[in-house]
């Protein structure tokens, strides 16, 4: 009538796992049943991450000659009770196990000063009935307050409690069992004929079982009582079936002896197998082919004087789905807080569990999470990284959304660069206006006015192109940034190269009989500018058709930020664009350097040499700075290089001329006119 012990073990594991009690102590009766129970529990505990703080075996019988051994056992148990970190104790045994444990703690602490402060949760198996002897009625039982027991299923039987209330051993003659119950429960004695005098109080009819504390005598139908009750009903139904069969045979056996034969117990086995009936409690009870009841387990919570049913747990139901934690009323010392039963304090969020070498896996050290990782729950086996768009907070307990950043006009750096670009654009516009205003003067005419205007206009666009780098990266913006910058700068540098070559060709054309006269004029300069421009355009078209730049989010360069930037698509084409401009600049520098001493009053070669030297220096330093930075800093480096190199061209080539045009017009005269505009 009692469910299999395997189901009970599973229920205990589910209970421990649900409350995360991973460090428990076991008290088991010292016999074969206790050893079998431990053999079943060991692998289940290990598989579910639960460790044993200790195992103590409870003696069934104590002999005075074994007192030294018993005293040692008592000492060890008391140490585990008082000092163990485990807050959950599992007790396996029989009815005397509770009496044995309470007696043991009484011997250790007769005044109960410490036992009430144990703060332990007792988990009692279904084999144990929570009974106490009459000698223990006055003992302090707070240590068992709130004990959890896996009990056999029971149901209230109508009239049972009323029947218990009417029992009186004085009204039933020759019932020695009831007299023993009264004497044990009430510490009294009945008068016996062989004894003339009694030294204890007399048992009277006024003594009632309902007046006893619940741990001494339970007035409700307990699981053990209900099992006995159903067993009697099962036997009765089997006897009824046997009697029905006998009556049927009696009708067919004429002239033979018809008395009911003496029945042996084994003769009922076949009738018990597969039997099904309704008991008086209105519950359907069935036995399988092996005579086993298809029963339920219950998780009950006990206090000293009461027992409250918490839930019914079907065999295949998971405890986590039906258990109501708020139904438990824990020992007062916990202040209604769920107790912990762990080898050590739980690892809080921000740390992870690291096993201690040589100890059980339930014992561990708490190690802070490394940089870039978090743990957001207690007792995590390892820390984990946040998603790409989040970063760990300072305590490493959670993740914070990264800020989306890019270089804009609104921040200080963006405002400074944009202001510089606009100022230099206005300065270049003023220079262009000044040259147009003095277009017929010798200094303007001597240096090829058309190429000069082309250079100044390209420089104006160079300054404006830097503003593309200060806007939010988008599909169109990323396509235009590098290609526009490369094409415009190619026009500017090729214009400088054309001016330099024009100076050299013009000087060579002054020699008698020179064939270079036919190259002097606008045609050569515009051919140089146009060819250089088309080559750069071709490179950019190939770039945009094959691996065009595109916007992307850089999640990794900065821990707390997502950088919105333009991916160049192809590093090869990006460096081809820069490399081509470098070739033009170096060529211009070499030609200008060689022509710097040519005899011309307005020879620009010296100024072009300085401008190209400054230009090349800027872009030489650009590469290591560009490659060593990320995000907004990388964009700022390129914008600064654009502004610096454009300013070098403007300052070195045109400011000296503007000085003459505006402040020293007396120097604006020509003695040798080799170049005609």
Cα Rg, the chain, nearest whole Å: 51
User: Average pLDDT of 200-207?
Assistant: 79
Alpha-carbon torsion angle 615, 620, 625, 631, nearest 10: 60
Domains of the chain: 5-150 (3.40.50.2300), 157-214 (no CATH), 222-295 (no CATH), 351-401 (no CATH), 412-662 (1.20.1070.10)
- What is the edge-to-edge ordering of all strands in the sheet holding 403-405? 403-405, 561-567, 550-554
DSSP 661: I
Sequence-ordered alpha helix ranges (H) in 344-474: 412-437, 442-445, 449-465
Residue 112: pLDDT band with limits 50, 70, 90: low
Contact 496, 455 (CB under 8 A): yes
pLDDT at 322: 45
Element (H, E) at 183: helix 176-186
- Is the confidence at residue 303, as pLDDT, over 50? no
From the list 383, 98, 156, the residue with the least C-alpha distance to 282 is 156
- Is the confidence at residue 512, as pLDDT, over 70? no
pLDDT at 193: 59
Residue 456: pLDDT band with limits 50, 70, 90: very high
The percent of residues in the chain predicted with pLDDT above 90, rounded, is 19
Residue 64: pLDDT band with limits 50, 70, 90: low
pLDDT digits (tens, 9 = 90+) for 356-382: 877 788 888 999 999 889 999 988 989
Between CA 562 and CA 386 the distance in angstroms is: 13
What is the DSSP pairing of strand 121-124 with strand 147-152? parallel
- Is the confidence at residue 175, as pLDDT, over 60? yes
Beta bridge partners of 57: 28
Q: Which two tokens stand for residue 633?
A: 């800093």
pLDDT at 316: 47
From the list 533, 527, 523, 538, the residue with the least C-alpha distance to 457 is 533
246-280 core/surface letters (b: 16 or more CB in 10 A; e: else): eeeeeeeeeeeeeeeeeeeeeebeebbeebebebe
Between CA 217 and CA 210 the distance in angstroms is: 8
pLDDT digits (tens, 9 = 90+) for 414-439: 899 999 999 999 999 999 999 998 88
Interacting residues of 560 by C-beta distance below 8 A, sequence separation 6+: 391, 400, 402, 403
pTM given for the model: 0.59
Q: Exposed, middle or buried: residue 176 (CB in 10 Å: 0-12, 13-18, 19+)?
A: exposed
Between CA 312 and CA 294 the distance in angstroms is: 14
The percent of residues in the chain predicted with pLDDT above 70, rounded, is 76
Q: What is the 3-state secondary structure (H, E, C) of 101-123?
A: HHHHHHHHCCCCCCHHHCCCEEE
Beta bridge partners of 278: 284
Interacting residues of 532 by C-beta distance below 8 A, sequence separation 6+: 490, 491, 493, 494, 497, 584
Q: Which two tokens stand for residue 12?
A: 């205990």
Element (H, E) at 626: helix 605-627
Average pLDDT value over all residues in the chain: 79
Q: C-alpha angle with apex 182: 180 to 187, nearest 5 degrees?
A: 100
């Amino acid at each position: 009538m009692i469910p299999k012990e395997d189901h009970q073990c599973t229920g205990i594991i589910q209970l421990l796992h649900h409350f995360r009690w991973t460090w428990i102590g076991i008290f088991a009766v010292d016999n074969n049943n206790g050893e079998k129970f431990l053999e079943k529990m060991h692998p289940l505990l290990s598989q579910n991450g639960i460790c044993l703080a200790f195992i103590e075996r409870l003696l069934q019988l104590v002999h005075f000659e074994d007192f030294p051994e018993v005293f040692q056992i008592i000492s060890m148990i008391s140490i585990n009770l008082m000092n163990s970190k485990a807050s959950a104790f599992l007790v396996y045994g029989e009815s005397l196990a509770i009496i044995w444990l309470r007696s043991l703690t009484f011997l250790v602490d007769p005044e109960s000063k410490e036992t009430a402060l144990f703060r332990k949760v007792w988990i009692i198996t279904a084999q144990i009935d929570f009974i106490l002897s009459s000698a223990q009625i006055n003992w302090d039982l707070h240590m068992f307050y709130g004990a959890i027991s896996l009990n056999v299923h029971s149901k209230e039987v109508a009239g049972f409690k009323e029947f218990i209330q009417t029992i009186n051993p004085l009204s039933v003659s020759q019932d020695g069992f009831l007299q023993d119950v009264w004497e044990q429960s009430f510490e009294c004695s009945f008068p016996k004929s062989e004894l003339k005098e009694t030294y204890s109080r007399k048992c009277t009819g006024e003594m009632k079982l309902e007046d006893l504390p619940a741990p001494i005598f339970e007035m409700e139908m307990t699981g053990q009582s209900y099992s006995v009750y159903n067993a009697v009903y099962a036997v009765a139904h089997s006897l009824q079936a046997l009697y029905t069969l006998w009556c049927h045979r009696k009708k067919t056996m004429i002239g033979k002896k018809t008395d009911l034969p003496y029945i042996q117990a084994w003769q009922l086995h076949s009738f018990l197998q597969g039997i099904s009936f309704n008991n008086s409690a209105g519950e359907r009870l069935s036995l399988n082919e092996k005579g086993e009841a298809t029963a339920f387990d219950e998780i009950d919570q006990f206090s000293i004087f009461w027992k409250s049913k918490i839930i019914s747990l079907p065999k295949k139901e998971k405890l986590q789905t039906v258990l109501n934690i708020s139904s438990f009323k824990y020992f007062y010392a916990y202040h209604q807080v769920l107790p912990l039963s762990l080898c050590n304090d739980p690892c809080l969020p921000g740390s992870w569990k690291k096993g201690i070498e040589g100890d059980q896996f339930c014992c561990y050290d708490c190690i802070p999470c490394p940089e870039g990782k978090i743990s957001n729950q207690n007792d995590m086996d390892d820390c984990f990284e946040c998603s790409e768009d989040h970063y760990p907070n300072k305590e490493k307990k959670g993740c914070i959304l990264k800020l989306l950043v890019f270089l804009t006009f609104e921040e200080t750096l963006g405002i400074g660069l944009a202001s510089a670009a606009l100022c230099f654009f206005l300065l270049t516009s003023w220079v262009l206006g000044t040259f147009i205003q003095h277009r017929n003067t010798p200094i303007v005419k001597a240096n090829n006015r058309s190429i000069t205007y082309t250079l100044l206009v390209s420089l104006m666009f160079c300054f404006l192109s830097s503003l593309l780098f200060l806007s939010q990266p988008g599909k169109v913006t990323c396509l235009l940034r590098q290609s526009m910058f490369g094409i415009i700068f190619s026009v500017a540098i090729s214009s400088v190269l054309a001016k330099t070559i024009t100076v050299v060709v013009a000087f060579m054309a002054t020699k008698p009989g020179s064939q270079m006269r036919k190259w002097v004029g606008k045609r050569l300069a515009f051919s140089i500018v146009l060819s250089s421009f088309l080559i750069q355009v071709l490179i950019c078209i190939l770039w945009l058709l094959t691996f065009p730049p595109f916007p992307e989010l850089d999640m990794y360069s900065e821990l707390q930020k997502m950088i919105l930037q333009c991916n160049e698509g192809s590093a090869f084409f990006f460096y081809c664009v820069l490399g081509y401009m470098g070739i033009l600049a170096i060529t211009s520098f070499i030609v200008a350097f060689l022509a710097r001493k040519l005899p011309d009053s307005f020879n620009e070669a010296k100024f072009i040499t300085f401008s190209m030297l400054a230009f090349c220096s800027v872009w030489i330093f650009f590469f290591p700075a560009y490659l060593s930075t990320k995000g907004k800093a990388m964009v700022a480096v390129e914008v600064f290089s654009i502004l610096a190199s454009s300013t070098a061209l403007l300052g070195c080539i045109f400011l000296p001329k503007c000085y003459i045009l505006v402040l020293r017009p007396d120097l604006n005269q020509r003695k040798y006119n080799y170049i005609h505009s």
